[in-house]
Amino acid sequence: MTARKIVVALGGNAILASDASAQAQQRALRETAKYLVKFIQQGDSLIISHGNGPQVGNLLLQQVAGNTPDNPAMPLDTAVAMTQGSIGYWLQNAMAAELADLGIEMDVATVVTQVVVDENDPAFDTPTKPIGPFYTSKEVADIQSANPEFQFVEDAGRGYRRVVPSPRPIGVVEAGAVNQLVNAGIIPIAAGGGGVPVIRHGHELIGCEAVIDKDFASEKLAERVGADQLIILTAVDHVYVNFNTPKQQQLTAVSVDELQQHITDGQFAAGSMLPKVEAAIEFVTHRPEGQAVITSLTNLGQFIETGSGTVISAVNVETNV
């Protein structure tokens, strides 16, 4: 088999379950590494991206709890960079240990990655992404008096949460550095948590209060590094239509046109499967010679061996590749 360049996008919930301690997340990543090294064993070049939703949420809680005039809470773009570093640190050590156990000499490096967004993206006018803790109406009034630019929404009767924009990525600043690492035989961990959202102002990159969807950021990274395959990991082995109904049907090999029709038919939930499907479509549209795959972490072995999972191609296909 010809060696491929593969971007694997891990979900933040694959790292953190009920136990938010560093030790528990490190143990989870060691298990994750056992699956990821299978790509190295078959000769592929691997780039790892990951989510950070639970982790950045916990960090924001800690920031709020410790916020004082002398020790102010860090802005959101910095919090994303902080979780890129912490998760990358855990993951690169987990990968290095697993590679060493297999007798594979290979370095792993975390790249704190900036992802460019358009300051005119309409998402900045309609913030929708909830972040941080729940507040009472009284707490919201106090916070908004000090931060009039903050916006809040009521969330399912549990209180109010701040919402921030979720703009689409248009570039990955460190894509060239990631490619250089791959070419040097190093496994990069990049675009963690959707990347640090930045806006270009001349020669400067200015961080902004936003959260980029990690699937779209992973797609943009895969596109910019010229990946052969983008693998988006989620909780299920396949994408389904008529999910959780008697007519449920898994999708195996599927084309962009077919997926577009399923989107039109309202088959995919906006908060879960839809962004993954849209990111997959975007990747194979920009790289028609490539493939996007949506499956679960625990199914990676079966995918590598048999092609099990949902494989998306730019044109109609009859069987999994």
Residue 11: pLDDT band (50, 70, 90) is confident
- Cα radius of gyration (the chain): 20
Given the residues 276, 290, 299, 309, select the one marked as catalytic: 276
299 is catalytic: no
Give the neighbor-by-neighbor strand order of the sheet with 196-201. Answer: 169-172, 114-117, 196-201, 204-207
The dotted CATH code for 1-120+165-227 is: 3.40.1160.10
Q: Which residue has the higher pLDDT, 224 or 60?
A: 224
pLDDT at position 186 is 98
Residue-wise DSSP of 89-143: HHHHHHHHHHHHHTT----EEE---EEEE-TT-GGGGS--EEEEEEE-HHHHHHH
Place of tokens 């994750």: 32
Specify the long-range contacts of residues 285-288, CB closer than 8 Å, at least 24 apart: 285/256, 285/314, 286/223, 287/222, 287/223, 287/226, 287/227, 288/314, 288/315
Q: State the amino acid at position 244 in one-letter form.
A: N
Given the residues 51, 57, 129, 220, select the one marked as catalytic: 129
Q: Is the dihedral of CA 296, 179, 106, 109 positive or negative?
A: negative
Q: Is the dihedral of CA 254, 255, 261, 265 positive or negative?
A: positive
220 is catalytic: no
Question: Would the CATH topology of 1-120+165-227 be identical to that of 230-320?
Answer: yes
Q: What is the pLDDT of residues 243-274, one digit of tens each?
A: 999 999 999 999 999 999 999 999 998 878 99
Q: How many CB atoms lie within 10 A of CB 231?
A: 26
pLDDT at position 321 is 34
Give the span between the Cα atoms of 257 and 277, in whole angstroms. Answer: 12
Given the residues 11, 88, 195, 214, select the one marked as catalytic: 214
The model carries a pTM of 0.90
13 is catalytic: yes
34 is catalytic: no
**Among 10-14, 112-116, 133-137, which stretch is predicted with the lowest mean pLDDT?**
10-14
Give the neighbor-by-neighbor strand order of the sheet with 129-135. Answer: 129-135, 160-164, 151-154
CA angle 301, 307, 308 (to 5 degrees): 75
Q: What is the largest CA-CA distance in the chain?
A: 63
Residue 1: pLDDT band (50, 70, 90) is low
Q: How many CB atoms lie within 10 A of CB 236?
A: 16
CA distances from 264 to 40, 228, 232 (A): 38, 27, 21
pLDDT at 320 over 60: no
129 is catalytic: yes
What's the CATH fold of domain 230-320?
Carbamate kinase (3.40.1160)
CA 150 to chain centre: 25
**Domain boundaries in the chain?**
1-120+165-227, 128-164, 230-320
Given the residues 12, 132, 192, 193, select the one marked as catalytic: 12
Contact 124, 167 (CB under 8 A): yes
